[in-house]
Amino acid sequence: MSDNHDDDHDHELRVSKIRNGTVIDHVRGGQALNVLAILGIDGSQDEEVSVGINVPSDRLARKDIVKVEGRELSQEEVDVLSLIAPDATINIVRDYEVASKHRVERPEEVEGVLTCPNATCITTENEPVTSRFDVLEDGVRCSYCETIVRDEIADLIDSS
The predicted pLDDT at position 100 comes to 92
Q: Is 87 assigned to a binding site?
A: no
Provide the pLDDT for residue 159: 63
Contact (Cβ atoms closer than 8 angstroms) between residue 32 and residue 65: yes
Q: Which of 76, 118, 74, 109 is nearest to 92 (CA)?
A: 74
Instruction: Check the annotation: does 75 bind a ligand.
Output: no
Residue 137 neighbours by CB distance under 10 Å: 7
145 is in an annotated binding site: yes
- What's the pLDDT at 61? 83
Q: What is the mean pLDDT of the chain?
A: 84
% of the chain with per-residue pLDDT over 70: 89
Q: Can you give the pTM of this predicted structure?
A: 0.77
Please indicate if the annotation marks 139 as binding a ligand. no
CA distance 118 to 43: 30
Q: How far is CA 32 from the centre of its chain?
A: 7
In which order are the strands placed within the sheet that holds 97-103? 49-57, 61-69, 21-28, 89-94, 97-103
* Run of H or E including 72: none
Domains along the chain? Answer: 16-103 (3.30.70.140), 109-156 (2.30.30.20)
Q: Which tens digit of pLDDT belongs to each residue from 100-155?
A: 999 999 899 998 888 999 999 998 877 788 999 999 988 899 999 999 998 778 78
pLDDT of residue 47: 81
